[in-house]
Structure 1
Amino acid sequence: MKAVVFDIGGVLIDWQPHLAWAEQLGSEEAAHAFIERTGFREKNARGDNGELFADMAQELDDPEDQRLFASYVEHYGRTVENPIHGTWDVLDRLRAQGTAVHGITNWSAETWPEGVKAHPRLGEVFGTLVVSGEEGVMKPDARIFRILCQRAGIAPEDCVFIDDGLHNVEGARAVGMDGIHFTTPQALEIALTERGIL
């Protein structure tokens, strides 16, 4: 039986980064503008690769922007409040039938503990979990998939990898895993059923 490897953000947990600042800035629109102004998404990817948000904040010119950016970790829990229930239902069915379930996530080592505080099951449900910020390597780099396989004691061809980022799915396929591009829990259930996994 194949092991199923889940991405987390956008698959199991809805991530809305602007909510870290919406209250401080007075509106969601202002928070979105802050994200654009500060190049947050590019910096966040660097965080997923191991850099610290306080260090990246120092690259900004405006002192208030620096302060707000550095506060991201403190307010991170607001960005990941909502689970994607249908995907959790699929994961629970897999575990109940004895299928090995693992995780690979592009997630900052700083914010990961806050994510687990918001959703304690994230720290409990995976046989093996690889967090990019803790490793200093992120999807779709082949190395992160190989780290998972080595630690879990499985071959890539024995894995089905699920991610909402097609480029990450393609990265998994490049190392020999089967890949499912996540769109909805319902489509995921169908894809796993077609493979004889559910």
Structure 2
Amino acid sequence: MVEAVIWDFGGVLTTSPFEAFARYERERGLPKDLIRSINATNPDSNAWALFERSECTLDEFDRLFAAEAEVLGHQVPGRDIIELLSGDIRPEMVEALKRCKARAKVGCITNNVSAGEGAGMARSHDKAAAVQGVMSLFDHVIESSKVGIRKPDPRIYEMACEALGVSAAASVYLDDLGINLKPARALGMTTIKVVTPEQALKELEAAVGFPVA
């Protein structure tokens, strides 16, 4: 019996920032997946990790990320990357969230940074308002930049279950990154890797046992 559906935000309820990363790289003639490779190097202590745990400021992140890119022979200011983080809302995923909320508890675990407006790191007031509308649907939201813990640290999933008053075994978790799903699955959660909205909604419907689309 599923008692809670817990969602990642970027790349799940919004379009993936990876799409924006790829566009940025193409436009500037940078190697494919350069940004993702920088973020994957020393993943617990690099600029990205520090910023998501609020252990550095935006100015510090700008310098630290640029230094990490420089090691690989490229110039990429950290501020440029922050501008790419805020995706567009996926209406079909929000509809699924609403349908889940009607029958179960719903929560959100998001790795984010203290930049932009709100949990979705929006760069405009209109987008921030749209994100806030989605965030208001959740029974509980955990932001890495506020709690000082980021996925895939198992503690953040335990915090979500505790806040919602459910067991991991009675929860479904959706994320677009396999590395973030692995610890959730180890705790007993049913996990869904979001590749496309269509695929994810089909798997979610099978997991919860009621229509979500």
Would you call these one fold, judging by a TM-score over 0.5? yes
- The verdict on how the C-alpha distance between 1:168 and 1:72 changes in structure 2, with shifts beyond 3 A counting, is closer
| Residue 162 (structure 1) shift | 0.5
Residue of structure 2 in register with 1:98 after alignment: 103
| Residue 6 (structure 1) shift | 0.5
The separation in 1 between residues aligned to 2:177 and 2:51, in whole angstroms, is 18
> Any idea what SS the aligned residue of 1:98 has?
coil
- The verdict on how the C-alpha distance between 1:143 and 1:79 changes in structure 2, with shifts beyond 3 A counting, is closer
Query: Quick one: which amino acid aligns to residue 113 of structure 2?
Result: S
The separation in 1 between residues aligned to 2:210 and 2:168, in whole angstroms, is 16
User: Where do 1:46-65 residues align within 5 Å?
Assistant: 46-50=50-54, 51-59=56-64, 60=66
Residue of structure 2 in register with 1:14 after alignment: 15
> Any idea what SS the aligned residue of 1:169 has?
helix
The separation in 2 between residues aligned to 1:84 and 1:160, in whole angstroms, is 19
Query: Quick one: which amino acid aligns to residue 17 of structure 2?
Result: Q
> Any idea what SS the aligned residue of 2:39 has?
helix
Contact map agreement 2:63 2:78 (CA 8 A) in 1: no
| Residue 56 (structure 1) shift | 2.4
Q: Choose which of 91, 95, 103 in structure 2 pairs with 1:89.
A: 95
> Any idea what SS the aligned residue of 1:107 has?
coil
| Residue 111 (structure 1) shift | 4.0
The separation in 2 between residues aligned to 1:184 and 1:99, in whole angstroms, is 23
Aligned residue pairs: how many?
A: 187
CA offsets, 1:37-67, max 9 Å, x none?
A: 8x863533432222322112234469xx79x
| Residue 17 (structure 1) shift | 7.0
Contact map agreement 1:48 1:107 (CA 8 A) in 2: yes
Unaligned runs of 5+ in 1: none
The separation in 2 between residues aligned to 1:155 and 1:18, in whole angstroms, is 34
Give the fraction of aligned pairs with identical amino acids, expressed as a percent: 22
Query: Quick one: which amino acid aligns to residue 9 of structure 2?
Result: I
Unaligned runs of 5+ in 2: 41-46
The separation in 2 between residues aligned to 1:153 and 1:98, in whole angstroms, is 15
- The verdict on how the C-alpha distance between 1:156 and 1:111 changes in structure 2, with shifts beyond 3 A counting, is farther
Residue of structure 1 in register with 2:27 after alignment: 29
| Residue 84 (structure 1) shift | 2.1
TM-score (norm 1): 0.76
The separation in 2 between residues aligned to 1:194 and 1:130, in whole angstroms, is 26
> Any idea what SS the aligned residue of 2:89 has?
coil
Query: Quick one: which amino acid aligns to residue 41 of structure 1?
Result: N
Residue of structure 1 in register with 2:195 after alignment: 183
User: Where do 1:11-160 residues align within 5 Å?
Assistant: 11-16=12-17, 29-30=27-28, 36=34, 41=39, 43-50=47-54, 51-59=56-64, 60=66, 68-70=77-79, 76=83, 79-95=85-101, 97-111=102-116, 113=118, 114-115=121-122, 117=128, 119-160=131-172
Contact map agreement 2:10 2:87 (CA 8 A) in 1: no
